[in-house]
Every structure is written in C-alpha cells, then in structure tokens.
C-alpha cells in the first residue's frame, strides 16, 4: 500500500509532492491505461492552478520590494540635493537651491502615500527634473544625474509591477485561492492516485510497481519533513 499524504501539509509542500509525482508519472508512457491518464491529467491541471495561485500571492511582495527601491532613491535624491545647498562652491550651492525648490514641491512625504499616488508624484517629479533649464544644475551636483536615472528605472519597474498587481487583484475575485486548490490537489493524491496505484501494483507489479514505489517514497519523505516541522521540543526536565 502507498502511504497517504498527511493532512497537515502546507500549500507549498502539497505543490512539491504533486510536482514530484507528475515527474515520476511522465517517465513512462501510459496510453494503454486511460484510467491512469485521466487521474494524472486532473492532477496536473490542478497542480498547475496551484502554482499559479501561489505565484499570485507573491506579486504583492514583489511590489513592496520595488516600492522600497523607489523610496530609497527618492531619499537619496533629497539628501544629495539638500546637501548641495550647503556646499562651499557657489555653483554647486546655486544648483542645489534650484533643484531643491523642485523636489520640495513633492517632498519626502510622497513616499508615505498610497502606491498609485506615490507613483504619480514620482512621475511628475521626474518630468520636472527633465526640463532643459535644469540640466546644468543637475550636472553641477556630483551623483545627482546618476540617482535620477536610477529613480527613473525604479519607477518604471514599480509601475509595471503595480499594473500586474492591480490586474491580479481584480481577477482574484473570480479565482480560487491557493488554500482551496490545495485541498483539491490533496484529495486527488489521497483519494484517486494512491488507491488506483495501490490496486494496480497488486494486479500488475511489472507495469505499476516502480511508479507506485516512487510515489510512496515521495510521500514518506514529505510526511517525515512535516513531522519534523511539527515536532515540539521537549521540556528541559523531561524524563528520557
């Protein structure tokens, strides 16, 4: 008999088991057994959906990282320009004063705004800084031009991720969650894949034995990992 996957398996763990099972299945051609093809086709379909659902959850994390990058270069630009207003060289000081007037219209407070508002403000700031009359001032301050280039790239990356995130957020209302799909994949493995292969390896071990053994080992290994994860440390004064 093939060991069943424990119910405590997490979303990522079930996804890993399903992927490994499918890899083992695809090493052999099964067109002579329509039943196993049907079961594993269903497993693959749901496994793919689970992967997509897992990735949807990562988009917001990616967006947050890119927002932090925009914040970093916004701060850097503020510090460089503001610092230039105190520079002993009058040319640099004048450049700093002119550019700080531009930046100060937006202020560092913009990085505390919502994603959409912050993005709009950074775009507007970059448009102001791109005006021809400011070119010489930007050149006069060491590092200023490079920071503006990096802020612009960070803003583009952020805006692309923001669009993706909004699209996924809108679609989520009509999509199953990773948790819901996880239950389906878990059920297919325990209630369809395992019973079928457990029976068929008894009937024809030559054809089904290797796949059954491989899947059994995949599940045993994962169950062991889950057991170790859930294992609570014993109290220091526990009797051995």
What are 145-173's pLDDT values in tens digits?
999 999 999 999 999 988 877 777 666 65
Task: Determine what percent of the chain is predicted with pLDDT higher than 90.
Answer: 74
CB 123 within 8 A of CB 135: no
Residue in this structure with the two tokens 């689970």, named with its chain if needed? 50
**Half-sphere exposure of residue 21: CA atoms within 13 angstroms, side-chain side:** 33
Please state, in angstroms and rounded to a whole number, the distance separating the CA atoms of residues 4 and 189.
Answer: 8
What are 24-81's pLDDT values in tens digits?
999 999 999 999 999 999 999 999 999 888 877 677 778 888 999 999 999 999 999 9
pLDDT over threshold 60, residue 195:
yes
The angle at the Cα of 222, spanning 220 to 228, to the nearest 5 degrees, equals: 105
Residue 237's pLDDT band (cuts 50, 70, 90): very low
Please state, in angstroms and rounded to a whole number, the distance separating the CA atoms of residues 102 and 71.
Answer: 17
Cα separation values, 84 from 6, 22, 87, 108, 109, Å: 63, 61, 5, 17, 20
Cα separation values, 117 from 35, 62, 109, 120, 219, Å: 54, 18, 11, 5, 48
Report DSSP state, residue 33. -
Please state, in angstroms and rounded to a whole number, the distance separating the CA atoms of residues 73 and 147.
Answer: 6
Residue 240's pLDDT band (cuts 50, 70, 90): very low
**Half-sphere exposure of residue 52: CA atoms within 13 angstroms, side-chain side:** 14
Residue in this structure with the two tokens 């053994």, named with its chain if needed? 213
Phi, psi dihedrals of residue 98, rounded to the nearest 5°: -65, -45
pLDDT value of position 114: 87
pLDDT over threshold 50, residue 239:
no
Query: What is the chain's mean pLDDT, rounded?
Result: 90
Report DSSP state, residue 35. H
**Of the segments 6-15, 159-168, 208-217, which one has the largest average pLDDT value?**
208-217
Please state, in angstroms and rounded to a whole number, the distance separating the CA atoms of residues 8 and 205.
Answer: 31
pLDDT over threshold 60, residue 119:
yes
What are 129-140's pLDDT values in tens digits?
999 999 999 999
Give which of 167, 101, 104, 164 is closest to 137, Cα–Cα. 101
């Amino acid at each position: 008999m093939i060991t069943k996957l424990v119910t405590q398996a997490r979303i990522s763990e079930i996804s890993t088991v399903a992927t490994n099972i499918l890899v083992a299945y695809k090493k052999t051609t099964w067109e002579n057994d329509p039943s196993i093809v049907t079961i594993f086709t269903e497993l693959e379909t749901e496994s793919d959906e689970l992967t997509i659902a897992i990735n949807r959850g990562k988009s917001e994390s990616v967006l947050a990282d890119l927002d932090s990058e925009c914040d970093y270069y916004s701060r850097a630009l503020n510090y460089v320009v503001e610092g230039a207003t105190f520079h002993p060289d009058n040319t640099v000081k004048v450049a700093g004063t002119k550019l700080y007037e531009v930046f100060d219209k937006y202020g560092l407070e913009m990085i505390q705004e919502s994603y959409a508002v912050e993005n709009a403000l950074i775009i507007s700031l970059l448009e102001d800084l791109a005006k021809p009359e400011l070119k010489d001032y930007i050149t006069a301050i060491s590092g200023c031009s490079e920071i503006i280039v990096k802020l612009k790239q960070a803003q583009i990356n952020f805006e692309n991720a923001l669009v993706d995130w909004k699209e996924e957020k809108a679609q989520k209302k009509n999509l199953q969650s990773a948790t819901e799909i996880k239950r389906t994949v878990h059920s297919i493995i325990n209630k369809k894949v395992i019973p079928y292969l457990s029976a068929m390896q008894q009937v024809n071990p030559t054809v089904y034995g290797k796949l059954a053994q491989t899947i059994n080992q995949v599940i045993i290994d994962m169950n062991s990992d889950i057991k170790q994860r859930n294992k609570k440390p014993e109290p220091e004064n526990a009797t051995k």
